[in-house]
Amino acid sequence: MVRNREKEVESRLTPPVSISVSDSSFSLLKVISTLIIFVLGVVIGLVSSSHIDKYFTFEGDQFSFKSIYFETEQFSSHDNQMLLVNGERDDCLSMERFIRPQNLFHQMTDKELFWRASLVPQKEDFPFRRVPRVAFMFLTRGPLPMLPLWERFFSGKDVEKYSIYVHALPGFESEVPNSSVFYRRHIPSQ
The answer on pLDDT for 79 being more than 80 is no
How far apart CA 173 and CA 190 sit, in angstroms, is 15
How far apart CA 27 and CA 20 sit, in angstroms, is 11
DSSP secondary structure code for residue 135 in this structure: E
pLDDT (tens digit per residue) in 129-166: 777 889 899 988 888 889 999 999 988 888 778 888 88
Tell me the pLDDT band of 84, cut-offs 50, 70 and 90. Answer: very low
The pLDDT assigned to 66 comes to 46
The pLDDT assigned to 33 comes to 94
Out of 44-53, 84-93, 96-105, 151-160, the most confident range is: 151-160
Residue 184 · residue 104 · CB < 8 Å: yes
How far apart CA 17 and CA 138 sit, in angstroms, is 70
How far apart CA 20 and CA 29 sit, in angstroms, is 14
